[in-house]
A and B are shown apart, each in its own frame.
Chain A
Amino acid sequence: MANLALVTAMSAVTETSSDAESSTGFFGWLFGSDGFHAPTVDEFYPPALLFEGTLFEFNRIELARVIAAAVLILLVWLVVRNAKLVPGRGQGAFEFMLDFVRTQIVEQVMSKENAKRFLPFLTTLFFAILAFNLTGVIPLINIAGTSLIGLPIIMAIWVYVLYLGVGVKQHGLGGYLKLSLFPAGVPKGIYVLLTPIEFLQVFILRPATLALRLAANMMAGHLLLVLCFAATQYFFFEAAGFMKSMGAVTFAAGFAFTLFEIFVAALQAYVFVMLSSVYINMAIEEEH
């Protein structure tokens, strides 16, 4: 369905982009179109809102992150402020999510004592990622805070430092290096192959894949949504005759992908926290 929309969109671009009618005013801006714009990577480099060109450049995506963080903290604060022994509806939902992170993610991976130690950070991570992901489908924000690689990198580095730190603290520097680079129970000759791979794994690939997986998922989701809605806009207000009805198809696709993105938002939060738990657990356990 999306492919069909794409093909039609492509052909439409070449035919009609030149003779677009020019509209004026708010409705002209809202419903007008100067041809079909396929989304590009520039989507993730919107014009600066503040401090352009400096280290402190603040754009739409940063604003989305600030809003997500503020709303997240506000919501949880509202729940916690009135937290009672017998939970209400909001507190019940929040506790359900806390319980989900604890029983379905962290305690699936590590022992209960270790889970207790790392649960606060991993819970925070889950809620933060979920909030930043969800801004991608929230009207007027429409961009995931995690779709710009900086935030996933910060979170991945945090997890990276955390698991290296607990690994070294648990086994000592040499012990941890030996444990992760020279896994026990392997013939000595294999280390020639295994050690470089393990080194790549532990020190480069794990944090890199954590950050990339999250950012790439959210980027792809955003591009898909923009594509669907841009095509819908184009078909409805610019294309002629039969082509107008294609807008219904692309709109339906946009609707479906919006639901899918909500699912992906939760899924990626789950995956990130699950993998973080696994990495931390690998660092503290003797054998893996």
Chain B
Amino acid sequence: MTLLNQLVVAAEETHGESSANPLIPAPYDILWSAVIFVIIVVVFMKVLLPKMQAVLDERAELIEGGLKKAEEAQSEAAAALEEYTAQLTEARAEAARIREDARAEATAIVSDSRTAASGDAQRIVETAHKQIEAERQQAIVSLRTEVGALATELASRIVGESLADDARQQRIIDSFLDDLESQVDSKQKAEG
């Protein structure tokens, strides 16, 4: 502090009394300060800063616009992907369904034709059986008549007597044939 006092004393010695208090502004100081500061404030706030702000806003808008565009493109791409995926799934499902249908149809066709074929076969077999049976009956009947006539003639020739009585004649033939049949049957059994 003594140092400071010394300095002040020395200063006063060299320069004499200081007239002004630096904390009290001189009128001209206030005037010029106000003029200059107002000029700066007006120029800055009315001209310079708004222009700069316009550029900054434009940049921000550009960046935001770019971001928004990118976002839109991304969401669009996502939507397209989703659509494609959905379509693909649908197509796969349809293909599977078509395949399933085809398989079912094929199975149905095969089983149908199998049924039809077996029916046909059965019918053919039945027809054949019936025909065979009919032919057998026919053969039996014709044999019976022919063999009976032949045998009667043979017998009448052998025994020399006319067997006029038809009923009796028939009875004899039948019993003869039955015997004959049973003989054939037993013979077949013995052979078989």
Decide whether A and B are members of one complex: yes
* B33, A150: Cβ atoms closer than 8 Å: yes
Among A120, A124, A127, A150, the residue within 8 A (CB) of B30 is A150
* B23, A149: Cβ atoms closer than 8 Å: yes
Indicate whether B59 reaches chain A with its CB closer than 8 angstroms. yes
* B25, A148: Cβ atoms closer than 8 Å: yes
B window 1-55: CB within 8 A of A: 3, 6-7, 10-12, 14-15, 18-20, 22-34, 36-37, 39-41, 43-45, 47-52, 55
Contact residues in A for B52 (Cβ distance below 8 Å): 79-80, 83, 94-95, 98
* A84, B22: Cβ atoms closer than 8 Å: no
Indicate whether A58 sits within 8 Å of B18 (C-beta atoms), given known contacts A13-B10, A153-B33.
no
Q: Interface segment, A68-76, A190-198, A234-242, A278-286?
A: A68-76
**Nearest CB on A from B71, distance (A):** 21
**Nearest CB on A from B36, distance (A):** 5
Indicate whether A186 reaches chain B with its CB closer than 8 angstroms. no
Among B28, B37, B43, B48, the residue within 8 A (CB) of A154 is B37
* A58, B39: Cβ atoms closer than 8 Å: no
Query: A138 CA to B106 CA in the complex, in Å?
Result: 102
Indicate whether B62 reaches chain A with its CB closer than 8 angstroms. yes
Indicate whether B56 reaches chain A with its CB closer than 8 angstroms. yes
* A128, B31: Cβ atoms closer than 8 Å: no
Among B31, B37, B55, the residue within 8 A (CB) of A84 is B55
* B15, A55: Cβ atoms closer than 8 Å: no
Indicate whether B72 reaches chain A with its CB closer than 8 angstroms. no
Query: A73 CA to B20 CA in the complex, in Å?
Result: 32
Indicate whether A72 sits within 8 Å of B40 (C-beta atoms), given known contacts A148-B29, A149-B25.
yes
* B15, A69: Cβ atoms closer than 8 Å: no
* B11, A55: Cβ atoms closer than 8 Å: no
* B18, A69: Cβ atoms closer than 8 Å: no
* B29, A150: Cβ atoms closer than 8 Å: yes
B window 131-169: CB within 8 A of A: none
* B14, A37: Cβ atoms closer than 8 Å: yes
**Nearest CB on A from B65, distance (A):** 12
Indicate whether A1 reaches chain B with its CB closer than 8 angstroms. no
**Nearest CB on B from A52, distance (A):** 10
* A83, B55: Cβ atoms closer than 8 Å: yes
Contact residues in A for B14 (Cβ distance below 8 Å): 13, 17, 35, 37-38
**Nearest CB on B from A254, distance (A):** 17
Indicate whether B181 reaches chain A with its CB closer than 8 angstroms. no
Contact residues in A for B50 (Cβ distance below 8 Å): 120
Indicate whether B58 reaches chain A with its CB closer than 8 angstroms. yes
Query: A75 CA to B25 CA in the complex, in Å?
Result: 30
* A153, B55: Cβ atoms closer than 8 Å: no
Indicate whether A128 sits within 8 Å of B51 (C-beta atoms), given known contacts A10-B10, A41-B22, A153-B30.
no
Contact residues in B for A77 (Cβ distance below 8 Å): 47-48
A window 113-128: CB within 8 A of B: 120-121, 123-124, 127-128
Query: A149 CA to B33 CA in the complex, in Å?
Result: 9
* B45, A124: Cβ atoms closer than 8 Å: yes
Indicate whether A56 sits within 8 Å of B15 (C-beta atoms), given known contacts A38-B7, A73-B48, A95-B56.
no
Query: A79 CA to B52 CA in the complex, in Å?
Result: 9
| Chain A interfacial positions (CB closer than 8 Å to B) | 3, 6-7, 10, 13, 17, 35, 37-42, 44-45, 51, 54-58, 61-62, 65-66, 69, 72-73, 76-77, 79-80, 83-85, 94-95, 98, 120-121, 123-124, 127-128, 145, 148-151, 153-155, 158, 212, 215, 219
A-B contact pairs, 19 of them (CB 8 A): A13-B10, A38-B7, A40-B18, A41-B22, A42-B18, A55-B28, A62-B29, A66-B36, A79-B52, A124-B45, A127-B44, A149-B22, A149-B24, A149-B25, A151-B29, A151-B33, A154-B34, A212-B23, A215-B22
